[in-house]
Amino acid sequence: MRQPLPHKDKQKVPEPTLRRLPWYLSNAKLLKQQGELYVSSTEISKRINIDASQIAKDLSYVNISGRTRVGYEVNALIDVLEEFLGFSQCHKAVLFGVGSLGGALLRDSGLRHFGLEIVAAFDINPVLIGTSLNDIPIFHPDTFAEKMQTLDVNIGVLTVPIEIAQQITDCMINGGIKAVWNFTPFRIRVPENIVVQNTSLYAHLALMFNRLNFNEDHL
């Protein structure tokens, strides 16, 4: 069963806003640790170097209102942001490809604190099948369709080699997956109603290397 949707309303939130909201959340958490009860958008602005009016605009999407002169209540800000961002819900997922990156994600229990629970993994490696990693069982991909009957899952994490990235994506979608978290550097194609979130560590590395070379050359 899915929880009721936590959003204030169902408008499509702009991606840049969604990318900034976790920054406000982490700052609010830090302020809480420091014993602060209230924070204004001007204070957040000083701390993270984003325009205060932008922060106020971003926060207008979430269900919180600041009080004149005191700002937002820190505890409420944390709760509302965690709920809005989906971190306080439990989203179940499966993972395909228990290689070095896939294995690393299965071991990373931090994901669970942000609302993602990987409940099963799939790999063709006979050494892995039947074992478990961080209490997550590993199965043969052939059993996926059958497992999907009992698992309440709509997210698939893709950490397979590029040569089977598209095939495994198709297999996940046929099995009922609605969102694919794609860690491969491969651009997968999906039907229009399927969400793809690309997180290629390698693309980020390339960006960083390029900027570093550029800076070194302009010293």
Give residues 178-207 in contact with a second copy (rule: CB under 8 A).
178-179, 181, 184-187, 189, 193, 195, 197, 199-207
Task: State which residue, 13 or 151, has the beta carbon closest to a second copy.
Answer: 13
Q: Which of 24, 12, 10 is nearest to 56 (CA)?
A: 24
Position among 58, 71, 91, 169 found at the interface with a second copy (CB under 8 A): 91
Q: Which of 152, 169, 173 is nearest to 160 (CA)?
A: 169
Output DSSP code: residue 89: S
Position among 1, 15, 135, 150 found at the interface with a second copy (CB under 8 A): 15
Rounded-to-integer distance, Cα 144 and Cα 94, Å? 9
CB-based contacts of 192: which residues, under 8 Å, 6+ apart? none
Question: Whole-number minimum distance, CB 147 to a second copy, in Å?
Answer: 20
Q: Determine if 90 is a binding residue for a second copy (CB under 8 A).
A: no
Span near a second copy by CB under 8 A; candidates 15-23, 35-43, 64-72, 118-126: 15-23
Q: Among residue numbers 93 through 132, which ones bind a second copy (CB under 8 A)?
A: 99-101, 103-105, 107-111, 114-116
Position among 12, 35, 127, 149 found at the interface with a second copy (CB under 8 A): 12
Do residues 156 and 97 lie in contact, with contact meaning Cβ atoms separated by under 8 Å? no
Position among 55, 148, 155, 168 found at the interface with a second copy (CB under 8 A): 155
Angle ∠(69,73,76) on CA atoms, nearest 5: 155
Position among 68, 127, 163, 191 found at the interface with a second copy (CB under 8 A): 163
Q: Is 157 helix (H, G, I), strand (E, B) or coil?
A: strand
Q: Among residue numbers 18 through 77, which ones bind a second copy (CB under 8 A)?
A: 18-19, 21-23, 25-27, 29-30, 33, 48-50
Rounded-to-integer distance, Cα 111 and Cα 102, Å? 13
